[in-house]
């Protein structure tokens, strides 16, 4: 995903009437500076707008030109890169987290059974993995987050959906406080700097698209408020039809200006598009091919986000 450019207006100032007396240049500059500083940045302007400010020594013409947003729109999510680039919002969230004491060496995996450690990145705590030449720099990331790959989150579970992740009834009573939902519990216990978020299960009769989006927003708000950088993930399947979930995920990644790991795109190059041919649910990914691929690009996404927010 392309970095979200600053939407503030850029101001170009042209002095139309030259200052007449050189000796008055200093005071004229001061007057111009004060006149400009008193002008609020306009909003809801056309593509280009002009404001004229007369002063005693010069007439200022201020041209406001909005900076274009060059990101790929969410409707074209299938063409988004697999490994995301860091975003401006992610950097701000990271800085907030560090100011609040978030652990820069920790990350979490929030979601359903597709996040189980065996299928998603647990291998990087075992020492039994191989990095290709173009992945060699990812070893720094493996070392940075050692101990957090091969664990199952407190906000993870078989069939855990976006609504259940927000319910204290689904929190682990051995580790969570009575009022905490699974997401809050994971954030408190692990205090992660980053969190992969992926909820894939779809119940058409119970969880319509607008409900899924509402709860996913709440999860994102909890994670961001904690100072944890969310990394959203698309899913490989399309059990709901029309890729409705992936469209919502891309829409929120775009709106919140946060990284998105486009796992769907990576899975397209795998046999059966990464889905397990031995299962009839058309949901679970293939242990033989997809587990390794999902983990590798997940590591790449964590590497890109971590190094980007840290300024590497």
pLDDT digits (tens, 9 = 90+) for 155-195: 988 778 999 999 999 999 999 999 999 999 999 999 999 99
Q: What is the largest CA-CA distance in the chain?
A: 86
Beta bridge partners of 229: 194
| Predicted pLDDT at 173 | 95
Q: Which two tokens stand for residue 247?
A: 């469209």
Between the alpha carbon of residue 150 and those of residues 29, 101, 146, 200, the distances in Å are 62, 24, 9, 21
Nearest to 237 by CA among 210, 213, 273: 273
Q: List CB contacts of 126: < 8 A, sequence separation 6 or more.
A: 150
Nearest to 33 by CA among 3, 60, 9, 52: 60
For residue 243, the number of C-alpha atoms closer than 13 Å in the C-beta half-sphere is 16
**pLDDT, tens digit, for every residue of 118-133?**
999 999 999 899 999 9
Q: Which two tokens stand for residue 299?
A: 């590591």
**pLDDT, tens digit, for every residue of 70-102?**
899 999 999 999 999 999 999 999 999 999 999
User: Per-domain residue ranges for the chain?
Assistant: 10-65, 74-310
Exposed / middle / buried, residue 6 (Cβ in 10 Å: 0-12, 13-18, 19+): exposed
CATH no. of 74-310: 3.40.50.1110
- Torsion-angle region of 197 (φ positive above 0: left; ψ -120 to 50: alpha; else: beta): beta
Number of helical H runs and strand E runs in the chain: 8, 7
For residue 174, the number of C-alpha atoms closer than 13 Å in the C-beta half-sphere is 1
**pLDDT, tens digit, for every residue of 284-294?**
999 999 999 99
Whole-number percent of the chain with pLDDT over 90: 65
Give this prediction's pTM.
Answer: 0.79
| Spatial separation of the C-alpha atoms in residues 201 and 161, rounded to whole Å | 6
| Spatial separation of the C-alpha atoms in residues 297 and 133, rounded to whole Å | 14
CA torsion through residues 82, 85, 89, 95, sign: positive
| 233 pLDDT more than 70 | yes
């Amino acid at each position: 995903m392309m970095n979200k450019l600053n939407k503030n207006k850029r101001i170009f100032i042209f002095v139309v009437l030259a200052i007449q007396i050189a000796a008055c240049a200093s005071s004229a500059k001061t007057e111009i500076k004060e006149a400009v500083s008193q002008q609020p940045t306009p909003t809801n302007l056309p593509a280009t707008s002009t404001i004229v400010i007369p002063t005693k020594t010069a007439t200022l013409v201020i041209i406001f030109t909005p900076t274009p947003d060059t990101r790929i729109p969410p409707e074209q999510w299938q063409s988004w890169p697999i490994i995301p680039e860091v975003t401006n919002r992610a950097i701000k969230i990271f800085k907030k987290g560090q100011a609040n004491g978030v652990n820069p060496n920790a990350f979490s995996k929030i979601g359903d059974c597709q996040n189980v450690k065996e299928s998603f990145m647990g291998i990087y705590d075992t020492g039994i993995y191989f990095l290709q030449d173009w992945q060699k720099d990812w070893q720094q990331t493996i070392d940075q987050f050692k101990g957090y790959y091969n664990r199952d989150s407190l906000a993870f579970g078989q069939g855990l959906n976006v609504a259940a992740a927000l319910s204290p009834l689904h929190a682990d009573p051995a580790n969570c406080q009575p009022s905490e939902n699974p997401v809050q519990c994971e954030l408190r216990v692990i205090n992660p700097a980053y969190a992969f978020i992926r909820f894939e299960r779809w119940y058409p009769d119970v969880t319509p698209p607008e409900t899924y989006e509402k709860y996913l927003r709440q999860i994102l708000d909890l994670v961001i408020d904690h100072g944890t950088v969310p990394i959203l993930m698309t899913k490989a399947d399309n059990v709901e039809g029309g890729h409705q979930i992936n469209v919502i995920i891309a829409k929120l990644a775009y709106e919140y200006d946060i990284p998105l790991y486009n796992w769907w795109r990576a899975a397209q190059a795998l046999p059966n598009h990464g889905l397990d041919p031995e299962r009839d649910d058309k949901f679970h990914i293939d242990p033989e091919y997809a587990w390794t691929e999902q983990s590798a690009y997940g590591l790449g996404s964590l590497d890109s986000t971590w190094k980007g927010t840290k300024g590497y």
